[in-house]
């Protein structure tokens, strides 16, 4: 069985590092042309390194600067990509940030920053992607679906997280956004799903795995007893975007080493 994304164009937001970079590499390996999105000049060099790795391994792609929380910039990203590749087949809404604090100390700017990138950014990109999918229609030489959207959510779309009210709220809301879009555009053959990672070793959660003590404490939450790797998510994203997953829409798929089995109940409760 071959998983192929040949002839397809995939935008992966926030793909200059971590999970997004792994998804971009995996999708490129499966034949897609990938758009490496980064938010500002500061992350341009990192994005260029990822694109070079992809091209050196025989893949194709382009860079695109866009802050996903800004409407104008998102509209321009889709214009730039469609001008270059003709259309877009796959959107991976991956860009995300954390700005943590105890709830009573949470500032408006911390709240707005996280909701702006993690939720509004996913809304804006999904809206532009669906407009493009509907304009193009189904083209069986690309995919049996008209388009695919993968939201990168989190186990925190169902696990409350003290000290991270903005982040957990953004991920909980992504579930409803994803399911509503799957319902609204199912008849158009647009598939919309979420990947909900547990603890994946990336810069966003460095403080949870940097020292042996922190890692040991994290592993107590993971029945499978290892931290996840970005490649674990890349593998799932390729499957979910491919026609092998054609009957999957409106689903949150947890990929967490069993974290959502609530390991602490193995000895208590
Ligand atoms: P990361 O910090 O490596 O990646 C986040 C990416 O988002 C970066 O490349 C960053 O440049 C980009 N970004 C930030 N603001 C942006 C903006 N305004 N516009 C465009 N891009 C922007 O961390 P990661 O772990 O790879 O996170 C990727 C996604 O996975 C996030 O949505 C995160 O919430 C989610 N997630 C991560 C974990 C984990 O354990 N690492 C677990 C669950 C969910």
Q: Residues 37-78: pLDDT tens digits?
A: 999 999 999 999 999 999 999 999 999 999 999 999 999 999
Ranges assigned E (strand) in the chain:
9-12, 33-38, 60-65, 90-93, 147-152, 190-197, 252-255
61 within some domain: yes
pLDDT of residue 85: 98
Q: Could you say which DSSP state residue 248 is in?
A: -
In sequence order, the 6+-apart residues with CB closer than 8 A to the CB of 153 are 171, 174, 175, 178, 194, 195, 196, 252
Beta-bridge partner residues of 151: 93, 194
The rounded mean pLDDT for the chain is 97
> Average pLDDT, stretch 237-241?
98
- How far, in Å, is the centroid of ligand 1 from the Cα of 144? 30
Rounded to whole angstroms, the Cα distance separating 212 from 184 reads: 46
Query: Over the stretch 110-120, which tens digit does the pLDDT of each residue have?
Result: 999 999 999 99
pLDDT confidence tier of residue 269, bands split at 50, 70 and 90: confident
138: pLDDT strictly greater than 80: yes
Rounded to whole angstroms, the Cα distance separating 183 from 243 reads: 19
Q: Is the pTM of this model over 0.85?
A: yes
pLDDT confidence tier of residue 21, bands split at 50, 70 and 90: very high
For residue 159, give its domain range. 9-255
268 within some domain: no
pLDDT confidence tier of residue 2, bands split at 50, 70 and 90: confident
269 within some domain: no
Point out the ligand 1 atom lying closest to the alpha carbon of residue 95: 7
pLDDT of residue 167: 98
Nearest C-alpha to atom 11 of ligand 1 is from which residue? 14
- How far, in Å, is the centroid of ligand 1 from the Cα of 152? 9
Which is catalytic among the residues 167, 185, 224, 247?
Answer: 167
101 within some domain: yes
Contact 153, 196 (CB under 8 A): yes
pLDDT confidence tier of residue 126, bands split at 50, 70 and 90: very high
263 within some domain: no
pLDDT of residue 1: 77
239 within some domain: yes
pLDDT of residue 256: 98
pLDDT of residue 166: 98
267 within some domain: no
- How far, in Å, is the centroid of ligand 1 from the Cα of 203? 8
Query: Over the stretch 88-105, which tens digit does the pLDDT of each residue have?
Result: 999 999 999 999 999 999
Q: Does the annotation mark 167 as catalytic?
A: yes
Beta-bridge partner residues of 191: 148
Give the HSE-up count for residue 10: Cα atoms under 13 Å, Cβ half-sphere. Answer: 36
Contact 130, 56 (CB under 8 A): no
Pocket of ligand 1 (CB under 6 A): 13-14, 16-20, 37-39, 43, 67-69, 94-97, 117, 121, 152, 154, 197, 199-200, 202-205
Query: Domain with 156 in it: what CATH number?
Result: 3.40.50.720
86: pLDDT strictly greater than 90: yes
- At 219 the three-state DSSP class reads helix
Total number of domains constituting the chain: 1
3 within some domain: no
Point out the ligand 1 atom lying closest to the alpha carbon of residue 230: 26
- How far, in Å, is the centroid of ligand 1 from the Cα of 17? 8
Rounded to whole angstroms, the Cα distance separating 4 from 14 reads: 23
């Amino acid at each position: 069985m071959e998983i192929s994304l040949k002839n397809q164009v995939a935008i992966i937001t926030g793909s200059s590092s971590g999970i997004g970079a792994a998804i971009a590499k995996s999708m490129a390996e499966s034949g897609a042309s990938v758009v490496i999105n980064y938010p500002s000049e500061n992350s341009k060099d990192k994005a260029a390194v990822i694109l070079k790795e992809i091209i050196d391994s025989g893949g194709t792609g382009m860079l695109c600067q866009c802050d996903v929380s800004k409407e104008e910039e998102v509209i321009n990203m889709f214009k730039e990509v469609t001008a270059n590749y003709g259309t877009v087949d796959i959107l991976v809404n991956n860009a995300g940030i954390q700005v943590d604090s105890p709830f009573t100390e949470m500032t408006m700017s911390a709240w707005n920053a996280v909701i702006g990138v993690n939720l509004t950014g996913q809304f804006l990109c999904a809206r532009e992607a669906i407009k493009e999918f509907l304009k193009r229609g189904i083209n069986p030489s690309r995919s049996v679906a008209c388009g695919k959207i993968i939201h990168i959510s989190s186990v925190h779309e169902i696990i409350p997280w003290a000290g991270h009210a903005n982040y957990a709220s953004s991920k909980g809301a992504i579930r409803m956004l994803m399911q509503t879009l799957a319902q609204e555009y199912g008849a158009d053959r647009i598939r919309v799903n979420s990947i909900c990672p547990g603890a994946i070793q990336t810069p966003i959660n460095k403080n949870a795995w940097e020292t042996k003590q922190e890692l040991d404490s994290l592993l107590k939450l993971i029945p499978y007893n290892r931290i996840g790797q970005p490649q674990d998510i890349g593998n799932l994203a390729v499957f979910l975007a491919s026609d092998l997953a054609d009957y999957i829409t409106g689903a949150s798929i947890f990929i967490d080493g069993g974290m959502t089995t609530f390991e602490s109940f193995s000895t208590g409760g």
